[in-house]
Every structure is written in structure tokens, then in C-alpha cells.
């Protein structure tokens, strides 16, 4: 089974060989047939999507420019503001929230380029989790094995792309929430540099760690969407001030050239399942990466992120915790309550360590263009599975899926999560980590691997 790509759809629509309405109707039909087994969508916007498709077709008929993503269907994690739709952020508390008067900036940018929003996607409550076993909306199922998790917190975003419901989705990543589900569902996910993409209209989790990003089934699709999403938005997101640096036209040349690639060891190998390390080794061989690199302080960086997360999140949720605590998912509520009780000095110390660990990463990038690491410690665990074995010990699934992602997002580096080509096996992804603001290098390394067939997104045959 093959699914049409972002690049293919946009090219066909712009050329007039297919209408945006026909693409949208086919997409809505697929969602209606397949989402019942996946539980990826929490809202489907049929009327809005068809109206938008008609507007794209009318523009093309009138000879107007329609943008690089003409007719491309996409969906967003339900913590993105969608005009007229409550921004759930996976929660019960926000079901009766005031409907936003406008779309999030990133939705506006995609639609300005001709893309068509078709719905909102399931997630862990308030983005606090790696499993998307939502207490209010139910779990999202992994398209490769419906008894397993899709990962989180952007589980619906990854599953919808993996199952071919839509070719493009938006998600968010605070501690690994794009990279974990991309890895477990076998698709590409991009967590750009902290501050690269606007978070205006994205419900916050941990402001000092939150990133917005995207999922797709190929490097070309991801790069094209990323270029559309870029650009300053200082009025909506004070940290998003960087001028756009398009990558679609440069990554092919970078992929043709030499890349200095190192493989992170130490913390980034501890407890990883054997098949995860085998997948990482296959990527390292393809990129001729022979050097093992140690990032001193990675474990401390992960611990600092672990401390910073509940403290900042609890501060945001304190009013609701005081008045509506029982409306939270218990797994989320208890961590928020713990964060509210932590002394402020812990968060301040966790923030200070970022400078130390960021300097260690800078030193590593003096010798390498790219660093490799596993995305997840294991393939997708089962839905409802509480523990797994790491290093000979039983540990919590929820607490440890992000062991290799948290140190990297703690210092805001750009990462491409790439699915290793393992036909017939559960997906496993690798992190392709670049220096700050060098998303082009991560995507170029991904393109080099994609050309060799070492990384690829696969259709989950026979499950849907």
C-alpha cells in the first residue's frame, strides 16, 4: 500500500490533474473508514475542509497563485488553536473553554500555502506523557500493531501519518513528544531549534522547553512543510524572531557532500533494547560514523529537564488544580501536584545547568556536523503496559521512554527523528541531531539515508 505524498498532491492539484475537493473528499473518507481502529482524531472538520478545498480550486481556475502546499490535507494535535473549536489539549477541563477567534500561526501559514486542515488529533493530557493513553478520549493505537501504543504526547499526529490518513501533521515536543511517536509509528518527525517555529496559539506545557514541529512520510515532504512554517512571529511568540532559512533547495547538495557524523554513547546507550542499538548501528554504518561521542552531563541534563517540567507545568495549572483536581487524568494530576510542592530553587538550578550542558554540546559540534542517538529506548510497548526491563531492572514505561530525547530538547537542539528501514518488524527511529539553527544538516543527513534505503516510512499493511 502506498500513500500520496505532500509533494505529489500539491503538484497534481497545481497542474489541474486533480481537484483539491477530490483530494479532500478522499481524505475525509479514509478518516471515516480507518480512524475507528486507530483513535487518532478527536475532531474532523468536514465542512471547513471542503469549503477551503473549493476556495483553492476556485483560485486555480482563476489563475491565481495557490502556494507550495496546494490541496494538501493536514491535521493538528488538539493543543493547536483552531478557530471555532475548543482547544482541548487532551483534557476534560478545556471541553467548555472559550473557542479561539483565530487559528494558531502555524495553521495559518500552512493554509496560506494552500494546505487544507481536516481535523484535530489525540494526545496525552496537557502534553504530559509519552504514550497517548488519554483518560478522556481513549488510547491512540499504533498502526503497525493495534495492541501497542503510538507514543506521545503527539501520538495522534504520528499515527495519522503512519496510517496514511493524512500526509502531514503538526505536533509539539517538550521532552520528546515528536521524536518518541515518530519512532514508535515509523514516520519522520522534525523538532526544530527552540524558537524556530511560532508557538502562538499552541497551548503551553513548559514554556522554556516547548517546541512546535511536524510529521511526514518523507524528507522532501517534511522539508517543504518546514519551509512554509518558518518565519518570525515576535508579536505572537516573543522567542520566534529568526528570519526564515529555507532548506528544500539546499539539502540535496548537502546530502551529496561529506558529513562529519558521530554516535552518542554513554547515557545514550544505557538500557537501550538490542534491536534499538542494531538499528542505530545500521544508520551509523551508512553515514560512515565511526567515532563514539560522550556528552558529559547528559544524565544530569535529563534529570534537570525532569525537574523543570513539573514545576513550570504546575505553575500554569495551579488555579485548576486548586478547584478541579479530580477532572485531571490521575497520571497527570499527581505529577502536577508534585511539581507544585517542589521548592522554586530546584527549577532555578535546573535552568542554570542548561548553560553547562549547552557548552558540552557546542564542543562536540566543533568536530561533528551531526550526532546520532536512539529516539526511544525500545519499540512500542503494549497499551496499558506499566513496566519494561531496562538494564536488568523493571522500570516505568511512562517515565523512561524519553530517556534519550530529554537531554537534547533540554538545550533546544534541532532533531530529525528518522524511521529505520526494518520491513516486517516494529518501527524503531533514530535521532539525527544538528547544531542550533542547522535543521538543514539534519534533513540532509536524513535525505542521504533515505536515498540509500536505510530510513523509510512504511505502510502498516493488513492492519487497517
Query: Grid coordinates representing 338?
Result: 508534585
Summarize pLDDT for 237-277 with one digit per residue, the tens.
999 999 999 999 999 999 999 999 999 999 999 999 999 99
pLDDT band at 460 (very low <50, low <70, confident <90, very high): confident
Interior/surface letters 7-41, b for 16+ CB within 10 angstroms, e for the rest: bbbbebbbeeebbbbebbeebbebbeebbeebbbb
Q: How far apart are CA 182 and CA 174, in angstroms?
A: 14
* Residue 375 is among the residues annotated as catalytic for this protein: no
What is the CB neighbour count within 10 angstroms for residue 338?
12
Q: How far apart are CA 172 and CA 180, in angstroms?
A: 11
Q: Are strands 261-264 and 370-374 parallel, antiparallel or unpaired?
A: parallel
464 located within any domain: no
Asked if the model's pLDDT at residue 126 lies above 60, the reply is: yes
pLDDT of the residue at 38: 98
Per annotation, catalytic residue among 91, 154, 157, 177 = 177
Average pLDDT over residues 347-370: 97
Phi/psi of residue 366, nearest 5 degrees: -70, -20
Q: How far apart are CA 110 and CA 105, in angstroms?
A: 9
Asked if the model's pLDDT at residue 1 lies above 90, the reply is: no
457 located within any domain: no
Asked if residue 449 lies in contact with residue 422, where contact means CB atoms within 8 angstroms, the answer is no
442 located within any domain: yes
462 located within any domain: no
DSSP tag of 297 = T
Asked if residue 153 lies in contact with residue 121, where contact means CB atoms within 8 angstroms, the answer is no
Outline where 16-72 has alpha helix (H): 20-38, 46-61
pLDDT band at 333 (very low <50, low <70, confident <90, very high): very high
458 located within any domain: no
* Percentages (nearest 5) of helix, strand, coil residues in the chain: 40, 15, 40
pLDDT of the residue at 93: 97
Summarize pLDDT for 289-331 with one digit per residue, the tens.
999 999 999 999 999 999 999 999 999 999 999 999 999 999 9
Phi/psi of residue 116, nearest 5 degrees: -130, 115
**E strand or H helix at 213:** strand 211-216
* Residue-wise DSSP of 246-267: --TTTHHHHHHS---EEEE-GG
459 located within any domain: no
pLDDT of the residue at 85: 97
The total number of structural domains in the chain stands at 1
Per annotation, catalytic residue among 5, 77, 208, 409 = 77
CA quadruple 348, 351, 357, 363: dihedral sign: negative
CATH number where 74 lies: 3.90.1300.10
Asked if the model's pLDDT at residue 2 lies above 90, the reply is: no
pLDDT of the residue at 461: 73
Phi/psi of residue 213, nearest 5 degrees: -160, -165
417 located within any domain: yes
* Residue-wise DSSP of 311-332: HHHHHHHHHHHHHHGGGS-HHH
Q: How far apart are CA 4 and CA 167, in angstroms?
A: 7
Instruction: Provide the 3-class DSSP secondary structure of residue 105.
Output: helix
Asked if residue 437 lies in contact with residue 196, where contact means CB atoms within 8 angstroms, the answer is yes
* Residue 177 is among the residues annotated as catalytic for this protein: yes
pLDDT of the residue at 458: 83
105 located within any domain: yes
pLDDT band at 23 (very low <50, low <70, confident <90, very high): very high
Interior/surface letters 396-432, b for 16+ CB within 10 angstroms, e for the rest: ebbebbbbbbbbbbbbbbbbbbbbbbbeeebbbbbbb
Asked if residue 375 lies in contact with residue 268, where contact means CB atoms within 8 angstroms, the answer is no
Structural domain boundaries enclosing 167: 6-452
Average per-residue pLDDT in the chain?
96
pLDDT band at 50 (very low <50, low <70, confident <90, very high): very high
pLDDT of the residue at 463: 52
Per annotation, catalytic residue among 5, 153, 218, 409 = 153
Summarize pLDDT for 394-427 with one digit per residue, the tens.
999 999 999 999 999 999 999 999 999 999 999 9
Counting Cα atoms < 13 Å in the Cβ hemisphere of 352 gives: 6
From residue 387, alpha-carbon distances to 83, 228, 399 in Å are: 40, 40, 9
* 327: exposed, middle or buried (Cβ count in 10 Å: 0-12, 13-18, 19+): middle
Outline where 365-454 has alpha helix (H): 397-400, 406-410, 439-452
- Among all chains, which residue has been given the C-alpha cell 531496562? 390
Cα angle 40-44-49, degrees, rounded to a multiple of 5: 130
Strand partners, 138: 134
pLDDT band at 344 (very low <50, low <70, confident <90, very high): confident
Q: How far apart are CA 188 and CA 245, in angstroms?
A: 20
From residue 197, alpha-carbon distances to 9, 119, 213, 400, 431 in Å are: 24, 21, 7, 27, 19
CA dihedral 251, 403, 353, 315 (to 10 degrees): 100
Outline where 257-387 has alpha helix (H): 274-286, 298-324, 330-341, 344-364
DSSP tag of 95 = G
* Residue 282 is among the residues annotated as catalytic for this protein: no
pLDDT band at 220 (very low <50, low <70, confident <90, very high): very high
Amino acid at each position: 500500500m502506498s500513500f500520496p505524498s505532500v509533494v505529489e498532491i500539491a503538484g497534481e492539484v497545481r497542474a489541474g490533474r486533480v481537484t483539491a475537493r477530490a483530494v479532500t473528499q478522499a481524505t475525509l473518507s479514509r478518516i471515516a473508514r480507518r480512524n475507528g481502529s486507530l483513535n487518532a482524531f478527536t475532531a474532523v472538520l468536514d465542512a471547513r475542509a471542503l469549503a477551503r478545498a473549493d476556495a483553492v480550486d476556485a483560485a486555480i481556475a482563476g489563475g491565481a497563485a495557490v502556494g507550495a502546499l496546494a490541496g494538501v490535507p493536514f491535521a493538528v494535535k488538539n493543543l493547536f488553536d483552531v478557530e471555532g473549536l475548543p482547544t482541548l489539549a487532551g483534557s476534560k477541563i478545556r471541553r467548555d473553554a472559550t473557542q479561539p477567534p483565530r487559528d494558531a500561526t502555524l495553521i495559518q501559514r500552512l493554509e496560506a500555502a494552500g494546505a487544507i486542515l481536516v481535523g484535530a488529533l489525540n494526545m496525552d493530557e496537557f502534553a504530559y506523557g509519552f504514550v497517548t493513553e488519554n483518560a478522556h478520549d481513549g488510547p491512540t493505537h499504533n498502526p503497525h500493531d493495534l495492541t501497542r501504543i503510538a507514543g506521545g504526547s503527539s501520538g495522534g499526529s504520528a499515527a495519522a501519518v503512519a496510517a496514511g490518513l493524512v500526509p502531514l501533521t503538526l505536533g509539539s515536543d517538550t521532552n520528546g513528544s515528536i521524536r518518541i511517536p515518530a519512532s514508535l509509528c515509523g514516520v519522520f518527525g522534525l523538532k526544530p531549534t527552540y524558537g524556530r517555529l511560532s508557538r502562538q496559539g499552541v497551548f503551553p506545557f513548559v514554556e522554556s522547553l516547548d517546541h512546535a514541529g511536524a510529521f511526514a512520510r518523507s524528507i522532501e515532504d517534511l522539508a517543504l512543510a518546514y519551509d512554509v512554517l518558518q518565519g518570525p512571529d515576535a508579536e505572537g511568540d516573543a522567542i520566534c524572531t529568526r528570519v526564515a532559512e529555507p532548506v528544500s533547495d539546499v539539502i540535496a547538495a548537502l546530502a551529496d557532500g561529506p558529513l562529519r557524523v558521530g554516535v552518542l554513547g554513554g547515557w545514550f546507550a544505557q538500557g537501550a533494547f538490542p534491536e534499538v542499538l542494531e538499528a542505530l548501528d545500521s544508520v551509523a554504518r551508512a553515514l560512515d560514523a565511526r567515532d563514539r561521542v560522550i556528552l558529559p552531563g547528559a544524565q544530569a541534563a535529563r534529570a534537570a529537564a525532569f525537574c523543570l517540567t513539573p514545576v513550570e507545568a504546575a505553575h500554569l495549572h495551579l488555579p485548576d488544580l486548586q478547584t478541579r483536581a479530580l477532572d485531571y487524568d490521575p497520571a497527570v494530576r499527581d505529577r502536577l501536584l508534585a511539581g507544585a510542592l517542589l521548592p522554586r530553587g530546584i527549577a532555578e538550578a535546573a535552568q542554570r545547568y542548561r548553560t553547562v550542558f549547552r557548552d558540552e554540546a557546542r564542543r562536540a559540534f566543533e568536530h561533528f556536523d551531526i550526532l546520532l542517538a536512539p529516539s526511544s529506548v525500545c519499540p512500542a510497548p503494549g497499551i496499558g503496559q506499566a513496566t519494561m526491563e531496562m538494564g536488568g531492572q523493571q522500570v516505568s514505561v511512562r517515565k523512561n521512554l524519553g530517556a534519550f530525547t530529554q537531554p537534547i530538547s533540554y538545550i533546544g537542539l534541532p532533531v530529525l527523528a528518522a524511521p529505520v528501514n526494518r520491513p516486517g518488524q516494529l518501527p524503531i527511529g533514530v535521532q539525527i541531531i544538528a547544531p542550533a539553527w542547522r535543521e538543514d544538516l539534519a534533513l540532509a543527513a536524513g535525505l542521504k539515508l533515505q536515498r540509500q534505503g536505510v530510513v523509510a516510512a512504511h505502510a502498516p499493511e493488513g492492519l487497517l
